[in-house]
Amino acid sequence: MRALVPLAEGFEEIEATTVIDVLRRAGIDVITAGLPGTYIRGSNNIQIVADKKMDDLNASDFDALVLVGGNPGYKNLGKSGKIKDAIQEFDRKGKTIAAICAAPSVLCKAGILNNRKATIYPGMEKDIPRPRGKRLEVDEHIITSQGPGTAMEFSLKIVEKLAGASKAEMIKKQLVF
């Protein structure tokens, strides 16, 4: 299993590092992709060096796409045609798509949330068509979550989807969650 985690300038650091760490603990091959380059600064001024540039990757080589929020990170993700194309391709193929915090609005921009339940950062409900107030929402192959405080359960749900419930339970115990 391979997961692609695009990181745009202004990404939310807690969400990104939690997703990357938890998925890697589960044995999932996680590749971080910087937009536009490999040195990406988060919304709280923490700089991360991404594994690759998004422009150098082919999204179809991955089993899951995970979008993190942060301001202006989610806006920068939403401006990328490559991200929009990847979201639409993953949706057509029924591959796992996960978005946390404000990033579900990027899924909406890509046109894949029209008939699906999703959640988003509190106060941004108008940015998606069928908002739910839950911390985590799963609708078929799409996982959405509300923000930094939900990053662990969001990450564990992605592990469950990609590697199975027993692997997610094992990681949960290791993390004392």
For residue 96, what pLDDT is reported? Answer: 98
For residue 111, what pLDDT is reported? Answer: 97
Segment 50-98, tens digit of pLDDT: 999 999 999 999 999 999 999 999 999 999 999 999 999 999 999 999 9
Q: How far is CA 140 from CA 2, 106, 113, 148, 161, in A?
A: 19, 18, 11, 23, 10
Domain 2-174: give its CATH architecture: 3-Layer(aba) Sandwich (3.40)
Identify whether 101 is a catalytic site residue: yes
Segment 13-58, tens digit of pLDDT: 999 999 999 999 999 999 999 999 999 999 999 999 999 999 999 9
- Domain range summary for the chain, segments of one domain joined by +: 2-174
For residue 133, what pLDDT is reported? Answer: 86
Segment 127-164, tens digit of pLDDT: 999 888 899 999 999 999 999 999 999 999 999 999 99
The mean pLDDT of 88-111, rounded to a whole number, is 98
CA neighbor of 162 nearest in space, from 14, 43, 19 = 19
For residue 132, what pLDDT is reported? Answer: 87
Of 8, 77, 99, 101, which one is the catalytic site residue?
Answer: 101
168 pLDDT above the threshold of 90: yes
What is the rounded CA–CA span in Å between residue 68 and residue 105? Answer: 11
For residue 61, what pLDDT is reported? Answer: 97
pTM of the model: 0.97
